[in-house]
Amino acid sequence: MSLYQNLLLLTAISAFLSIASACSDGQCKLLDECSSDGDCEAGLYCFACQQGFSGSRCVRSTVTNQFKLLVSDEIDKASFVCVAHSGTFHFQLSPLEQDIDNNSLPFNKYAFLTTHNAYAIDGYPLHTPVPRVTFTNQEDMITDQLNNGARALMLDTYDFDGDVWMCHSFGGQCHDITAFGPAIDYLKEIEAFLSANTEEIVTLILEDYVGPNGLTKVFTDAGLMKYWFPVSNMPKNGEDWPLVSDMVANNQRLLVFTSIQSKEASEGIAYQWNYMEKRKVEITEWLNVKLADGDGGMQAG
């Protein structure tokens, strides 16, 4: 056997031993590299998160009940969240959490898992005559995102084809190639979740390119107005929000925020930046999160 053949054989044996020594068959532990869900031990599944690590690793698949956790305002090196850009995934190892086992705190004292461009789903059925040519951000349908623990959804709403649609578009205009589907289809999934889960609260953050009264109509048609949290009950000067227990008791379990300031007065849809502030999270290392001042957030459009 030639030297070249010997080297090839040694390389093949080395690669085989490396693969054989890697965990598999349900033996991989938290953050171990993996190739499929079957590699991970019970309670974990195989997931890729480009914002946090290279390749795929075993992560937790259990849903955290945010109404049973009190999270410190401080973020330390053991906290990591990767949810916004790919799939519905939440991994957090914060020793600052304390079990409180109730929902009696003000709404603003809780942290909520939020999915960015929640409507921009891989493989979402086509509703236009041409292929979709735009970016996707999620792997799960809206119902699955909610069932997996997301409690806030970021949605881009547009006037399109005589109705309100979800689009991942540009220039404030929706096109056949950037359209995902009618907004009512997504909103009906949210209504079904709220109807089936009577103690849950969902927040919608809308990048809004819809004309006057368009959103009011589609939310009414989807049957969501019965859950609507009224603007009149929202704190105006940084005070605490109502208790979660009171919001649930009053069935005011849907909060909707728009990027168009005038709609707060004209349609009773809260203007986002009257009630929120934006902070930039810069991931500089794995499991090392740095907070910086916000940039003022999305501009009114």
Q: What is the pLDDT of residue 62?
A: 59
> Can you give the residue ranges of every domain in the chain?
1-62, 63-292
d(CA 170, CA 127): 19
- Burial of 15 per CB tally in 10 Å (0-12, 13-18, 19+): exposed
Query: Residue 111 has what pLDDT?
Result: 86
Q: Quick one: pLDDT at residue 71?
A: 45
Residues of the chain under the 70 pLDDT cut: 1-21, 50-53, 61-64, 66, 68-102, 281-301
pTM: 0.71
**How far is the CA of 94 from the CAs of 79, 113, 135, 184, 294, in angstroms?**
5, 15, 32, 37, 23
Residue 82 is predicted with a pLDDT of: 40
- Looking at domain 63-292, its CATH architecture is Alpha-Beta Barrel (3.20)
Q: Which pLDDT belongs to residue 21?
A: 41
* pLDDT tens figures, 85-138: 334 333 333 333 444 456 788 999 888 899 999 999 999 999 999 999 999 999
Tell me the C-alpha distance between 149 and 114, whole Å: 9
pLDDT at 284: 52
CA dihedral 181, 182, 188, 191 (to 10 degrees): 100
Residue 269 is predicted with a pLDDT of 98
- pLDDT for the residue 55: 84
Are 88 and 65 within 8 A, CB to CB? no
Cβ atoms 205, 155 nearer than 8 A? yes
